Structure 1
Amino acid sequence: MSVLVIYAHPDPASFNHAIYEQVVRGLKDKGQAYDVIDLYKEGFDPVLVHNQEKKRSEMKNDPELASYRRLVKKADHLIFIYPIWWFGMPAILKGFIDRVFASGFAYTYKKNIPAGLLKGKSATVIYTLDSPGFYERLIRHSLEWQSVKGPIFHFCGIRPVRRFVFFGVRTSSEQKRKKWLEKIYQVSRN
Structure 2
Amino acid sequence: MEHSLAEAGSSAETMSQRQKTLRPALLTACLCLFTQLLLAQEVLILSGHPSAKSLNAHLESVLFTALEERGVAVQLRALREIESIGHLDAQRWSDRAGVSQEAQIAAEQEFWRRAEHIILLHPVWWWSMPAPMKAYLDVVLSPGFAYPEGDASGPFALKGKSLSLIQTAGAPDTYIEAEGLKEAYERLIRVGLCDFTQMEFHSYLLFGGVMEKSPAEIAALEEEIRAWVKEHF
Under a length normalisation based on structure 2, what TM-score does the superposition of the two structures give? Answer: 0.72
Amino-acid identity (%): 24
Indicate the residue corresponding to 1:27 in structure 2. Answer: 67
| Structure 1 stretches of 4+ moved >4 Å | 56-59, 109-117
Is the contact between residue 46 and residue 121 of structure 2 (CA under 8 Å) also seen in structure 1? yes
Instruction: State the Cα RMSD in Å.
Output: 2.7
Indicate the residue corresponding to 2:104 in structure 1. Answer: 64
More RCO (CA 8 Å, sep 6+): 1
C-alpha distance in 2, partners of 1:86/1:11?
18
Q: Does 1:81 align with 2:121?
A: yes
Indicate the residue corresponding to 2:222 in structure 1. Answer: 181
C-alpha distance in 2, partners of 1:113/1:151?
19
Q: How does 1:92-103 map to 2 (within 5 A)?
A: 92-103=132-143
C-alpha distance in 1, partners of 2:155/2:206?
28
Indicate the residue corresponding to 1:123 in structure 2. Answer: 163
Comparing 130-139 with 161-170, greater Cα deviation is found at 130-139
Under a length normalisation based on structure 1, what TM-score does the superposition of the two structures give? Answer: 0.86
Match of 1:156 among 182, 190, 197: 197
Indicate the residue corresponding to 1:132 in structure 2. Answer: 172
Deviations 1:95-153 (A, max 9, x none): 11100011111112677799954111011210011112232232254333332221112
Structure 2 spans left out of the alignment, 5+ residues: 1-40
Give the 3-state SS of the residue equivalent to 1:5 in structure 2. strand
C-alpha distance in 2, partners of 1:68/1:7?
13
Deviations 1:37-95 (A, max 9, x none): 11111132332233288525887x93230100011001000111100111100011101
Indicate the residue corresponding to 1:107 in structure 2. Answer: 147
Is the contact between residue 46 and residue 93 of structure 1 (CA under 8 Å) also seen in structure 2? no
Structure with the higher fraction of residues in helix conformation: 2
Is the contact between residue 115 and residue 157 of structure 1 (CA under 8 Å) also seen in structure 2? no
Query: Closer, same or farther in 2 for the Cα pair 1:81/1:141, shift >3 Å?
Result: closer
Is the contact between residue 16 and residue 83 of structure 1 (CA under 8 Å) also seen in structure 2? yes
C-alpha distance in 2, partners of 1:181/1:63?
36
* Count of matched residue pairs: 189
Aligned amino acid, residue 221 of structure 2: W
Higher alpha-carbon Rg: 2
Structure 1 spans left out of the alignment, 5+ residues: none
Structure with the higher fraction of residues in strand conformation: 1
Indicate the residue corresponding to 1:42 in structure 2. Answer: 82
C-alpha distance in 2, partners of 1:158/1:90?
22
C-alpha distance in 2, partners of 1:98/1:52?
11
